[in-house]
Amino acid sequence: MRRRQSWIITLTMLIMSAPLTASWAEQADDDDAPLPPPPLASLEEALPGVTVDLETRQLELEAVVVLRDGDWLELLVCSPQTREHESILTVEARPSHIHLALLLLGYQPGSPMQWEQTDDGYLTRPPQGELLSIYIAYEDDDGEEVEVPATDWIRHEPTGETMAGNVWLFAGSVFERIHEQNLYVADLNGTIVSLVNFGDDLIARPTQVTDQTDEQRWNTYTERIPETGTSVKLRIRPYDGDADDVADLVDAEQELLHETPPPPGTPHDAPPEVDE
């Protein structure tokens, strides 16, 4: 509980206005008191583009289709002006805002995939976090709302198969000290919902496939995706599948991508080698 409250205080002080943080943050830092939800009116002002439903624990984000026929995919969702060439959707909401909203709904963050350099190469720790399901809602040609699992818009390029298992992890990205400031790295890189591991992912797939090892095998399921520029709703909910099946889904996905963990090579953000 203390770790979740610490995350909330850090993110709150980082991104939210003083009227919301003052009394609410003091309550959240009290270990003897239950964590109170902030006033919803203030929350909607502080977190634009984010709608929370405390009863169902659903987080809804305003999103836009930016890619429906690309060369490959490595993300489902990114921030604008970051990775639109390899992501189906963008959302204006900042990743740190999304993280805070998930905390307020009671979700437990874990950690993105991590690499540790050793004498023999790189040891890896797979991504961790509470299981989530993600849905996309949009209007069809008749003006009726259609809601589909996010995985329906993603296919395996060599086989044409739809991505299996609408299961994702609240990995939670990371903070880094940059220029004397604690910065939420997903805010910098726009890594909101990834299909492969970058190491700064806010929401990740529960695999050890990385942007170095996926061989660009994911792509858009073009026929199922509305035209670019279409506004949609991204809905994040508690995982609605069988938790006992997740391990089998992970194994199948890694086999589909010809991946044998731990992945070889360096993480995407390792510094390049420079010839001297």
Q: Evaluate if residue 17 carries a pLDDT over 50.
A: no
Most confident range (mean pLDDT) of 12-21, 32-41, 88-97, 211-220 is 88-97
Is the whole-model pTM more than 0.85?
Answer: no
- For 59, the token pair is 């987080």
> Which H helix or E strand runs over 218?
strand 218-220
What stretches of 16-174 show up as alpha helix (H) in DSSP? 18-28, 40-46, 95-104
Q: Find out whether 73 and 220 touch, Cβ atoms under 8 Å.
A: yes
Provide mean pLDDT across the span 142-150: 96
| Percent of the chain whose predicted confidence (pLDDT) is above 70 | 77
**Using CA atoms, how far apart are residues 61 and 49, in angstroms rounded to an integer?**
6
Provide mean pLDDT across the span 5-9: 48
Side-chain half-sphere CA neighbours of 196 within 13 A: 23
In our burial notation (b when 16+ CB lie closer than 10 A, e otherwise), range 236-272 reads bbebeeeeeebeebbeebbebbebeebbeebbbeeee
Q: Evaluate if residue 78 carries a pLDDT over 90.
A: yes
Angle ∠(231,127,172) on CA atoms, nearest 5 = 55
Strand 87-91 and strand 75-78: the pairing is parallel
Q: Evaluate if residue 127 carries a pLDDT over 80.
A: yes
- For 271, the token pair is 């510094």
The pLDDT of residue 258 is 62
pLDDT in tens, 232-252: 999 999 999 888 888 888 888
Q: Evaluate if residue 261 carries a pLDDT over 70.
A: no
**Using CA atoms, how far apart are residues 276 and 274, in angstroms rounded to an integer?**
6
